[in-house]
A and B are shown apart, each in its own frame.
Chain A
Amino acid sequence: DAGVTQSPTHLIKTRGQHVTLRCSPISGHKSVSWYQQVLGQGPQFIFQYYEKEERGRGNFPDRFSARQFPNYSSELNVNALLLGDSALYLCASSTLPPGQGRNNEQFFGPGTRLTVL
């Protein structure tokens, strides 16, 4: 069975540019969450979507936005890139939104490594 997939695997951008990262959840999963993992740190929550609606937003600037499509795939967009946006961006899917159900684990994708020069 296919797990969570993310594209692209790696990406190099320059400051001020825009980037779009993509995520396809596990089949049957309706919830997608995005995390930013800076080198040497744990993942930091950015967004969570369920059934195409935003259910949660972390402490990130408005340059970060996301959306979820009818097939439950998701995009994370970052505008006006800064050097500090360089990180591994992780997507996770689950059957229910985080916080619902005791056996509602999140399954993570391999991530997209973004480098901003």
Chain B
Amino acid sequence: AQSVAQPEDQVNVAEGNPLTVKCTYSVSGNPYLFWYVQYPNRGLQFLLKYITGDNLVKGSYGFEAEFNKSQTSFHLKKPSALVSDSALYFCAVRDEGGGSYIPTFGRGTSLIVHP
């Protein structure tokens, strides 16, 4: 079985400050990890993914994520938050070790960036 946990329902950060949105995962094989963002009344937009290689993955809009195998985490980060980053963020995992090819999504974390 595969699962994803996003322990924070909401993250608040001031504009210009660094932000972190946390994600931990559980898979039986090797993980493929994804971050998506959802703006109000919009579908999910792909931000970045980890498949293999460098543990630090760079994605769209200045976001990056760090894969940590020992802590089974894939936290989303940005050095300087913008008000326009305020949205709902979803972490997802897919097991490439013979498990389901269907991604499992976390519950989502609401990011609020204050001016």
Contacts and interface: CB of A to CB of B under 8 A. Distances in A.
Interface of A: 4, 33, 40-45, 48, 56, 58, 90, 92, 97-100, 102, 105-111
B43 A98 contact: no
B107 interface: yes
A12 to B, nearest CB: 16
B94 A98 contact: yes
Contacts of A99: 94, 101-102
B101 A108 contact: no
A6 to B, nearest CB: 8
Contact of B90 (A33, A42, A92): A42
Which residue among A41, A42, A48, A109 has the maximum number of chain B CB atoms within 10 Å of its CB? A42
B105 interface: yes
Contacts of B43: 4, 90, 92, 108-111
A90 to B, nearest CB: 6
A54 B94 CA distance: 19
Contacts of A100: 101
Interface residues of B, number: 22
Contact of A90 (B44, B94, B101, B108): B44
B102 A56 contact: yes
A98 B102 contact: yes
A98 B34 CA distance: 13
- Minimum-distance CB pairs A-B, first 3: A99-B101, A42-B105, A108-B43
A56 B103 CA distance: 12
Nearest to B106: A42
A4 B44 CA distance: 11
A108 to B, nearest CB: 4
Given A40-B107, A98-B94, A102-B51, A45 B102 contact: yes
A110 B43 CA distance: 4
Nearest to B9: A40
Interface in B44-86: 44-46, 49, 51
Contacts of B34: 105
Contacts of B103: 45, 98, 106
Contacts of A107: 46
